[in-house]
């Protein structure tokens, strides 16, 4: 499923209408019917549904929805914030159809009191005020209606976008509709994954409205949501005649006296995610802790780390920030013949050697959280968070890396700018150690997948999916530990493989 900007969506609309010939009114009919079908189960007899319509094509969708409500069991009212004379194109086409089918349009500006009363009595409000066409702060009339909707107490369903949210995810300070459900048309827009807009969507469902894949191909859209079908398609299939050497021989350089656990979590997660042979380089004092809990690992002295014969490296979890650790990170970066994952303190040290990234033949994989990303770029966390897609793309292309910018919707970016958004995971992951688990999964998957982008996307997907599985079955957002995540990898992988083999 593609993720698009406002401009890209408008270009796709144009291409579909002009090149493919599916006219605007038809697409609008498809959009409105898809929304109505999604709402149908909620439209029982006597339910009071208000359709609140703006001037543009988002409003046009509203007229299609209102027309179908006429024939439903629900009681329907349609309120227009614009002057009907202002309505043009496909929206006018459907406004006329609505009227001709017996619909009545009430104008908000002429009946403000009645409008406010009606909103107070509504069970469900369909927000068809503004979609991708908004620029800047909603005009005063729109702001006023947005505020009334937000204070209504009704269930609010937004068409395409919560009105007032800019489609590209740029920051804004004005009020926008707080939707209970957003039915986004054809494909997600950037705003769905970036704060503050993301907070307005409520539950999100994406409704296809008949735009052919060729329209997206024609525009070369290179941003998508990584979905269950993607991981099932790309999970590595094991050759029955394979041996432990076939699934990666990796060295994990992690842990310190103060943070031995990080090395343990990353190592165990890598083993649980299929790495064939794992060597761990930890300070001598830490070795007994790991050895006692992970007899499957072998050890390499921190002082004599030899990379010969390895197929991958991972450095960072719990490493520490002393200068001597920087030398280790540098060695990993300079060893460019095999993939490497750099996380946590490894990223901290990276700042002084960013140019080494660009020179690597095999791109490194970095998995910073927003704070680590901000440190790398000398930006504030806020600067990173309000521009996650662009910040990620610029960095990945400039330094020729696979960048995993962690967060509610982790964004994965390849060195050529291709992006994927992850939609698994939840706030249970906001706890020390969960990042180390991701490092282990990333490491193991990198050594088992053919395509690096698949490995990185699948690792991020699996990491979130185990957190979702835990919260779905007996855990809460508060209690999940890194070890719970690791212990839940087997059943989640089991179900993914089982479904993939069907």
Ligand X SMILES: NC(=O)C1=CN([C@@H]2O[C@H](COP(=O)(O)OP(=O)(O)OC[C@H]3O[C@@H](n4cnc5c(N)ncnc54)[C@H](OP(=O)(O)O)[C@@H]3O)[C@@H](O)[C@H]2O)[C@H](O)CC1
As annotated, the binding site for K(+) includes: 58, 127, 163
For residue 433 the two structure tokens come to: 């150690």
Give, as one character, the DSSP assignment of residue 304: G
465 is an interface residue for ligand X by CB under 6 A: no
Site string for K ion, 163-202 (x = CB under 5 A): x---------------------------------------
Per DSSP (E only), the strands in 181-322 are 181-185, 203-207, 223-226, 249-253, 277-281, 298-299, 312-315
**Residue with Cβ nearer ligand X (182 or 281):** 182
213 is an interface residue for ligand X by CB under 6 A: no
Exposure on the CB side of residue 365, measured as CA atoms within 13 A? 31
Give the chain's length.
502
9 is an interface residue for ligand X by CB under 6 A: yes
How far is residue 116's CA from residue 106's CA, in Å, rounded to a whole number? Answer: 12
**Residue with Cβ nearer K ion (157 or 254):** 157
50 is an interface residue for K ion by CB under 5 A: no
Part in contact with ligand X (CB under 6 A); list of ranges 48-56, 226-234, 298-306, 472-480: 48-56
Q: Taking CB under 5 A as the criterion, which residues in 104-143 touch K ion?
A: 127
Smallest Cα–Cα separation from 72: which of 36, 120, 23? 36
Q: Which one of ligand X, K ion, none interacts with residue 250, CB within 5 to 8 A by kind?
A: none
Exposure on the CB side of residue 494, measured as CA atoms within 13 A? 6
165 is an interface residue for ligand X by CB under 6 A: no
Residue 57: CB minimum distance to K ion, A: 11
Residue 125: CB minimum distance to ligand X, A: 16
166 is an interface residue for ligand X by CB under 6 A: no
How far is residue 204's CA from residue 207's CA, in Å, rounded to a whole number? Answer: 10
Residue 30: CB minimum distance to ligand X, A: 7
Q: Which one of K ion, ligand X, none interacts with residue 9, CB within 5 to 8 A by kind?
A: ligand X
User: Known binding site for AMP: residues?
Assistant: 406-410, 435
Residue 479: CB minimum distance to ligand X, A: 40
The binder of ligand X chosen from 15, 49, 52, 61 (CB under 6 A): 61
User: Known binding site for (6S)-NADPHX: residues?
Assistant: 57-61, 142, 160, 262, 318, 369, 436
> How is the beta sheet containing 402-405 ordered, strand by strand?
223-226, 419-422, 411-413, 402-405, 365-366, 340-342, 312-315, 249-253, 277-281, 298-299
The binder of ligand X chosen from 135, 243, 450, 502 (CB under 6 A): 135
Residues 6+ apart with CB under 8 A from 27: 13, 16, 17, 90, 209, 210, 211
Residues 6+ apart with CB under 8 A from 82: 53, 54, 55, 59
């Amino acid at each position: 499923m593609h993720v698009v900007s406002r401009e890209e969506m408008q270009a796709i609309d144009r291409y579909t209408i002009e090149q493919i010939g599916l006219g605007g009114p038809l697409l609008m009919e498809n959009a409105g019917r898809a929304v109505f079908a999604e709402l149908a189960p909620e439209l029982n007899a006597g339910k009071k549904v208000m359709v609140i319509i703006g001037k543009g094509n988002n409003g046009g969708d509203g007229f299609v929805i209102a027309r179908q409500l006429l024939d439903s069991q629900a009681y329907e009212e349609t309120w227009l914030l614009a002057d009907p004379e202002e309505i043009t194109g496909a929206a006018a086409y459907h406004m006329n159809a609505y009227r001709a089918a017996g619909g009545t349009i009430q104008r908000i500006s002429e009946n403000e009191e009645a409008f406010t009363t009606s909103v107070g009595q509504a069970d469900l409000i369909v927000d068809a005020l503004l979609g991708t066409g908004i620029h800047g702060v909603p005009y005063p009339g729109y702001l006023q209606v947005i505020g009334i909707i937000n204070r209504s107490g009704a269930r609010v369903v937004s068409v395409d976008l919560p009105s007032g949210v800019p489609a590209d995810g740029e920051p804004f300070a004005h009020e926008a509709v707080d939707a209970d459900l957003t039915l986004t048309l054809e494909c997600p827009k950037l705003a769905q994954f970036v704060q503050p807009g993301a907070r307005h969507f409520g539950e999100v469902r994406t409704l296809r409205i008949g735009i052919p894949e060729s329209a997206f191909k024609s525009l070369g859209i290179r941003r998508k949501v990584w979905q269950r079908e993607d991981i099932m398609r790309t999970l590595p299939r094991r050759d029955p005649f394979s041996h432990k050497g076939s699934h990666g021989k990796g060295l994990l350089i992690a842990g310190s006296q103060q943070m031995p656990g990080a090395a343990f979590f990353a190592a165990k997660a890598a083993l649980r995610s299929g790495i064939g042979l794992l060597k761990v380089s930890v300070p001598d004092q830490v070795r007994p802790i790991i050895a006692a809990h992970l007899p499957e690992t072998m050890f390499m002295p921190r002082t004599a780390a030899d990379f010969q014969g390895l197929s991958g490296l991972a450095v960072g979890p719990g490493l520490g920030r002393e200068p001597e650790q920087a030398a280790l990170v540098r060695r990993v970066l300079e060893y460019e013949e095999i993939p490497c994952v750099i996380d946590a303190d490894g990223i901290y040290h990276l700042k002084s050697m960013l140019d080494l990234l660009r020179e690597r033949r095999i791109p490194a994989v970095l998995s910073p959280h927003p704070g680590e990303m901000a440190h790398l770029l000398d930006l504030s966390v806020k600067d990173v968070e309000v521009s996650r897609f662009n910040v990620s793309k610029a960095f990945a292309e400039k330094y020729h890396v696979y960048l995993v910018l962690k967060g509610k919707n982790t964004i994965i970016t390849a060195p050529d700018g291709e992006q994927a958004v992850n939609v698994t995971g939840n706030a249970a992951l906001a706890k020390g150690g969960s990042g180390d688990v991701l490092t282990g999964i990333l490491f193991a998957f990198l050594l088992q997948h053919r395509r690096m982008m698949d490995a990185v996307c699948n690792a991020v997907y699996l990491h979130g999916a185990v957190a979702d599985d835990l919260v779905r079955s007996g855990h809460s957002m508060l209690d999940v530990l890194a070890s719970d995540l690791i212990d839940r990898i087997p059943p989640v992988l089991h179900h993914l493989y089982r479904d993939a083999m069907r």
